[in-house]
Amino acid sequence: MLAERAAIERRIFAALEATPPRIPILVGGCGSGRTSLLRRLHELLGPETEYIDVERIATTPEAFLSSVTHATRCQAPEMPPGTADTRAAQAAFDRLRHFLEHARTPSGSRVTFLLDDALEIRTFESFPGLRGVLREFWQTLCKSSNRFVLTTRFVSRTLRLFRDAPDRFEFVHLPPLTPREVTTTLVRLEIGDTDDERIELARILHALTDGRPLYLRLLAEATATMGAGDPVSALAAQMAPGAPLSMACRFSYELRLHRARGYGALKAILQVLARDEPLTLTEIAHRVGRTPGSTKDYLSWLEDVDLLNVQQKRYSFADPVLRLWVRLHGRATPPGDEDLAREAQEYAVHRFPYMEPTMAIAEPPAATTDGGVRERSWNMIEID
């Protein structure tokens, strides 16, 4: 269980209770806590709320309609005769829009729909008559007296696609956890024996994970499981093939690349930047052996799925943990124990510029006191 995001929850409730209700779009990358927040909203808002995972069921309009209407407890009146298009895909999408606009609970109350990864509705653009599916979707939500909360993992793409959307949509960016929220998370996970220990550990974990909720939870749990181990040793272990944090990075990496264009070339650029960043367009083009023109297209596609940041015309990874994963796994053979330890130590030094490299090396198990109590030590990384 991650820390509650009270300020974000208050903002969402304020949007839903406005007249007319605004439509919050929770924007955050993989592992940012979007789905966890929707699940919590589902509990807080009660039985008049319906959660729908759009990404899982966005196949064909007909199948999507069937999944939504069978999974929810609400109903909508029948469409007027002759209003549905005779083509199957468009007719199904029209009925879906009608359902979302007019659905009511069994008691006749309006419904709050929580649409996870709502941007996947664009899947239907490839079907006949549905080139404007996203705009029609906007219009439906804005006309309805029902309430909606949307999420998306694609920040840049969403801002571009919703550039001309009605003012009813309100973007709510999910920021990284703060050190204080990380401390609260450690309490919920029952990690750390004292407040001082949790505060110090929280500062280290926050720096190593960039405050990203999923990474934080996985690394915190791994650190606790290792007992006398330190967070850097836990990070090295979690970067091994098949480890939970490694698999989370692999999911984010593959999902974003598959949502972009130019899969192979994009992987090559990411491997270049994993070895050395930030780099200019010209430097990247030279290292991948492509023209500046084609390289510029590749870089724009990587930005579109939030894999890269660009500042002062220099490109770098948006996710430092994912960069570490690419350094380790973007090679012909899986990393060995020495590779994992070395890269984790170098990464920790980079995240703590004032730390001596030797401080990141895992220490032997902590000694025990005369009473047999194990002495924990989180201060192998010096935090001023």
Domain ends where: 122, 139, 173? 173
Which H or E run contains 113? strand 112-116
> Is residue 208 situated within a structural domain?
yes
> What span, in angstroms and rounded, lies between the C-alpha atoms of 308 and 300?
9
Domain encompassing residue 164: 6-173
> Is residue 40 situated within a structural domain?
yes
> What span, in angstroms and rounded, lies between the C-alpha atoms of 380 and 205?
13
Domain ends where: 281, 312, 329? 329
Domain ends where: 157, 173, 189? 173
Are 82 and 157 in a shared domain?
Answer: yes
Query: Residue 359: its pLDDT value, please?
Result: 43
Are 355 and 262 in a shared domain?
Answer: no
Are 186 and 129 in a shared domain?
Answer: no
Q: Contact, 42 vs 12, CB < 8 A?
A: no
Instruction: Check which CATH number belongs to the domain holding 43 and give it.
Output: 3.40.50.300
> Is residue 340 situated within a structural domain?
yes
> Is residue 380 situated within a structural domain?
no
Q: Contact, 207 vs 178, CB < 8 A?
A: no
Are 129 and 100 in a shared domain?
Answer: yes
Q: Report the domain count for the chain.
A: 3
> Is residue 379 situated within a structural domain?
no
> Is residue 167 situated within a structural domain?
yes
Query: Residue 107: its pLDDT value, please?
Result: 87
Are 306 and 198 in a shared domain?
Answer: no
Are 252 and 201 in a shared domain?
Answer: no
Q: Split the chain (384 residues) into runs of 10 and give each run's mean pLDDT.
A: 73 92 92 89 90 92 91 81 66 92 90 94 89 90 94 90 87 90 83 83 91 92 79 94 96 91 90 95 94 94 93 95 95 93 92 54 42 41 33
What's the Cα-to-Cα distance from 79 to each of 83, 99, 102, rounded to whole Å? 7, 9, 10
Are 85 and 163 in a shared domain?
Answer: yes
Q: Contact, 186 vs 193, CB < 8 A?
A: no
Are 163 and 214 in a shared domain?
Answer: no
Are 200 and 113 in a shared domain?
Answer: no
Query: Residue 259: its pLDDT value, please?
Result: 86
> Is residue 115 situated within a structural domain?
yes
Are 148 and 188 in a shared domain?
Answer: no
Instruction: Check which CATH number belongs to the domain holding 318 and give it.
Output: 1.10.10.10
Q: Tokens 């280290």 label which residue?
A: 204
Nearest to 208 by CA among 346, 310, 358, 316: 346
> Is residue 1 situated within a structural domain?
no
First and final C-alpha spacing in the chain = 29
Are 128 and 163 in a shared domain?
Answer: yes
> What span, in angstroms and rounded, lies between the C-alpha atoms of 292 and 294?
6
Are 25 and 136 in a shared domain?
Answer: yes
Q: What are 231's two structure tokens?
A: 């967070």
What's the Cα-to-Cα distance from 373 to each of 201, 228, 369, rounded to whole Å? 20, 12, 5
Q: Tokens 């593959």 label which residue?
A: 254
- Per DSSP, 104 falls in state B
**Phi and psi (nearest 5°) for 205?**
-65, -35
